[in-house]
Amino acid sequence: MHPMSWLNERLGVGATVRGFLDRPVPANIGWLNTLGSATLFLIIVQIVTGIALALFYVPSADHAYASVQNIDALRFGALVRGIHHWSASALVVLIGLHVLRVFFQAAYKYPREVTWVVGAALFAVVLGFAFTGYLLPWDQKAYWATVVGTNVAGSAPIVGSVVIDLLRGGPALTTESLTRFYGIHVWVLPAVLLIGVAIHLFAVIRQGIAAAPRRTPLVADVPGESQRDRYAREYAAEKHDGHPFYLSLLKDAVVSAVILAVVVALALAVGAPLEAQANPNAVGYVPRPEWYFLDMFQLLWYVSGPAEPLVIFLIGSIGFLVFLLVPFIDRGRKRHPRQRPIATALGTASVLGVLLLTAQGAMAPVASTDVAATVNASTLTVAQQAGLKVFQVQGCAACHRLAGQGGTAGPDLTSVASRLSAAQIQQQITSPRDKMPPYADLAPGDMSNLLDFLSTRK
Partner 1 sequence: MTSDLVPEPDPQHIEPTSVDAVAPAAGGDGPAVAADRALTTDDAPGAPIVPGSPPAPERRWLRRTFVVRALGGVSAALAAVVAVPVAGLASAPVGGPLRFPLTAGAIPPTLRTTGFTSLGPLESFPVGQPTLVPATVPVTIAGVQQDAQIAVYVVRPHDQSVLIMDIHCTHMGCPISWSQGAKQFLCPCHGGAFAQDGTRVSGPPPRSLDRYQAVIANQEVWMGPLVEES
Interacting residue with partner 1 among 165, 270, 315, 328 (CB under 8 A): 165
Interacting residue with partner 1 among 9, 22, 62, 370 (CB under 8 A): 22
Compute the least distance from the CB of residue 269 to partner 1, in Å. Answer: 30
Is 444 a binder of partner 1 (CB under 8 A)? Answer: no
Nearer to partner 1, 4 or 15 (CB): 15
Please give the Cα distance from 339 to 107 (Å, whole number).
14
Is 241 a binder of partner 1 (CB under 8 A)? Answer: no
Is 411 a binder of partner 1 (CB under 8 A)? Answer: no
Interacting residue with partner 1 among 81, 168, 340, 401 (CB under 8 A): 168
Please give the Cα distance from 365 to 72 (Å, whole number).
30
Interacting residue with partner 1 among 207, 414, 448, 455 (CB under 8 A): 207
The residue range among 121-129, 279-287, 316-324, 335-343 that interacts with partner 1, by the rule CB under 8 A, is 279-287
DSSP line for 266-316: HHHHT-----SBP-TT-TT------GGGHHHHHHHHH--STTHHHHHHHHH
Nearer to partner 1, 3 or 306 (CB): 306
Report the site for partner 1 in 416-435 (rule: CB under 8 A): 435
Please give the Cα distance from 87 to 382 (Å, whole number).
53
Is 32 a binder of partner 1 (CB under 8 A)? Answer: no
Is 62 a binder of partner 1 (CB under 8 A)? Answer: no
Nearer to partner 1, 101 or 239 (CB): 239
Residue type, 304: S
Interaction pattern, residues 306-345, with partner 1; x per rule: CB under 8 A: xxxxx-----------------------------------
Q: Using omega within 30 degrees of 0 as the cis cutoff, is the peptide bond preceding 438 cis?
A: no
Dihedral of CA atoms 199, 204, 206, 207 in degrees, nearest 10, equals 130
Is 368 a binder of partner 1 (CB under 8 A)? Answer: no
Distant-in-sequence, close-in-space partners of 110: CB < 8 Å, separation ≥ 6: 227, 228, 231
Interacting residue with partner 1 among 367, 374, 421, 458 (CB under 8 A): 367
Please give the Cα distance from 63 to 193 (Å, whole number).
28
| C-beta of residue 346 within 8 angstroms of C-beta of residue 377 | no
Stretch (H or E) spanning 24:
strand 24-25
Compute the least distance from the CB of residue 237 to partner 1, in Å. Answer: 11
Is 63 a binder of partner 1 (CB under 8 A)? Answer: no
Interacting residue with partner 1 among 338, 437, 443, 444 (CB under 8 A): 437
What is the DSSP-derived secondary structure letter of residue 412? -
Is 75 a binder of partner 1 (CB under 8 A)? Answer: no
| C-beta of residue 447 within 8 angstroms of C-beta of residue 391 | no
Is 110 a binder of partner 1 (CB under 8 A)? Answer: yes
Compute the least distance from the CB of residue 209 to partner 1, in Å. Answer: 9
Compute the least distance from the CB of residue 90 to partner 1, in Å. Answer: 28
The residue range among 33-41, 164-172, 327-335, 419-427 that interacts with partner 1, by the rule CB under 8 A, is 164-172
Compute the least distance from the CB of residue 169 to partner 1, in Å. Answer: 5
Please give the Cα distance from 265 to 246 (Å, whole number).
29
Compute the least distance from the CB of residue 175 to partner 1, in Å. Answer: 9
Calculate the CA 434 to chain-centre distance: 33
Distant-in-sequence, close-in-space partners of 24: CB < 8 Å, separation ≥ 6: 239, 240, 242, 243, 244, 245
Please give the Cα distance from 283 to 138 (Å, whole number).
17
Give the total of residues touching partner 1 (CB under 8 A): 83
Is 14 a binder of partner 1 (CB under 8 A)? Answer: no
| C-beta of residue 403 within 8 angstroms of C-beta of residue 377 | no
What is the DSSP-derived secondary structure letter of residue 401? E
Compute the least distance from the CB of residue 50 to partner 1, in Å. Answer: 22
Per the DSSP assignment, residues forming a β-bridge with 244 are 24
Identify the CA nearest to 343 among candidates 40, 107, 183, 111: 107
Is 152 a binder of partner 1 (CB under 8 A)? Answer: yes
Stretch (H or E) spanning 423:
helix 422-430
The residue range among 62-70, 71-79, 315-323, 406-414 that interacts with partner 1, by the rule CB under 8 A, is 406-414
